[in-house]
Amino acid sequence: MARDLTIQIRLTKEEHETIAAQAGREGLGVGTYLRALALRNAFESSGSPRGKAFAVRRRAQKRAKSSRTRQAVGEGHRR
């Protein structure tokens, strides 16, 4: 059964700016970004098959990003 949930969060200006910057990099608004983050964390911690799939995908994305970063740094030092 689906349930509606409303959460109010008080952020400092700096916290909001940090979250807004990350949300912007993802092409999302602050509210949408925070909802997506909350859902992802809820799924990953649930231990369900969907949660495990989210966790595996996120680890793969982190590894790929880390690999790209190392390559870019390595290319920068070759000059």
Could you tell me the pLDDT band of residue 76, with boundaries at 50, 70 and 90?
low
Are the C-beta atoms of residues 58 and 40 closer than 8 Å to each other? Answer: yes
* Arithmetic mean of pLDDT, 42-70: 85
Question: What global pTM score does this model have?
Answer: 0.62
CA diameter of the chain: 58
